């Protein structure tokens, strides 16, 4: 059985502040906060996926290869959402070409989009999609279908879309020729289903094309590391967590 997507992790210079900003932006809540992470979650019973903010020493470099797309109900709701977020501290990115969506950055410079109304995003909550740049969208989508489950639509064009089995955002793999040069500031966390074995799932994902990588975890106390860091076939970092409730 595949692992399942459990959270989107966002590197941050000031994790508590950025978590509070996103909680207000989405009208979500802070579920947990300590020195190592701040967790933002949707209200109980509403669709969405946990956003986990973690402090890192390095700053942001270049455009993020992974970003969030926010939904809107209609043109007026899109306009109001953009205005509200700009008033709260978001900055508009001028693309130099007309697009129906609006690109903003959060207070730490992470790009995100406020989309025009699209029926495929109805009932997905305020986060409509997690977008990942890909040199080969169909191939990367196929890997993530094995890692996160769901149904993949990969018609061979510039976009492949993974619809997960749980309510919440789509995973969208969008063609880009821009090479990856630095560690992503946003990454996905997956978790085995209850009762499944973390080591077995790591082995399965390695057989599917993932690789192990070092992002500083080897310098930490091994007793505190409950996740395994891998990269997908295009070098995007992700973590395989232990099944929920399993002790270190």
| pLDDT score at 248 | 45
**Helical ranges in 8-136 per DSSP H:** 15-26, 75-88
List the chain pLDDT tens, one digit each, 248 residues.
579 999 999 999 999 999 999 999 999 999 999 999 999 999 999 999 999 999 999 999 999 999 999 999 999 999 999 999 999 999 999 988 889 999 999 999 999 999 999 999 999 999 999 999 999 999 999 999 999 999 999 989 999 999 999 899 999 999 999 999 999 999 999 999 877 799 999 999 999 999 999 776 665 666 667 889 999 999 999 999 988 755 44
Domain residue limits, the chain: 4-213
| pLDDT score at 220 | 61
- Residue 144 and residue 236 in contact, taking contact as beta carbons nearer than 8 Å: no
Nearest CA among 177, 166, 184 for reference residue 238: 184
Domain 4-213, CATH number (from 3.40.50.720, 3.10.180.10, 2.30.110.10, 1.20.950.20): 3.10.180.10
Tell me 24's DSSP state.
H
| pLDDT score at 2 | 76
Q: How far apart are CA 95 and CA 63, in angstroms?
A: 13
pTM recorded for the entire structure:
0.94
Q: How far apart are CA 185 and CA 64, in angstroms?
A: 7
| pLDDT score at 66 | 98
């Amino acid at each position: 059985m595949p692992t399942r997507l459990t959270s989107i992790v966002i590197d941050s210079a000031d994790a508590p502040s950025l978590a509070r900003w996103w909680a207000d932006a989405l009208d979500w809540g802070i579920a947990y906060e300590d020195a190592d992470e701040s967790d933002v979650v949707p209200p109980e019973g509403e669709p969405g996926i946990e956003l986990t903010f973690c402090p890192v020493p390095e700053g942001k470099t270049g455009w993020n290869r992974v970003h969030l797309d926010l939904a809107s109900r209609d043109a007026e709701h899109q306009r109001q959402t953009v205005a509200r977020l700009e008033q709260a501290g978001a900055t508009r990115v001028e693309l130099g070409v007309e697009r129906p969506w609006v690109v903003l950055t959060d207070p730490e410079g992470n790009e995100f989009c406020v989309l025009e109304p699209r029926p495929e995003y109805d009932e997905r909550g305020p986060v409509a999609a997690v977008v990942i740049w890909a040199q080969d969208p169909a191939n990367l989508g196929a890997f993530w279908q094995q890692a996160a489950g769901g149904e993949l639509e990969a018609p061979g064009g510039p976009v492949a879309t993974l619809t997960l089995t749980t309510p919440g955002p789509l995973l969208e793999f969008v063609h880009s020729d821009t090479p990856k040069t630095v560690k992503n500031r946003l990454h996905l966390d997956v978790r085995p289903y209850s009762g499944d074995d973390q080591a077995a799932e790591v082995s399965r994902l390695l057989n599917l094309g993932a690789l192990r990588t070092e992002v500083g975890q080897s310098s930490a106390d091994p007793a505190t590391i409950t996740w395994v860091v891998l990269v997908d076939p295009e070098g995007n970092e992700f973590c395989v967590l232990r099944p929920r409730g399993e002790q270190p």
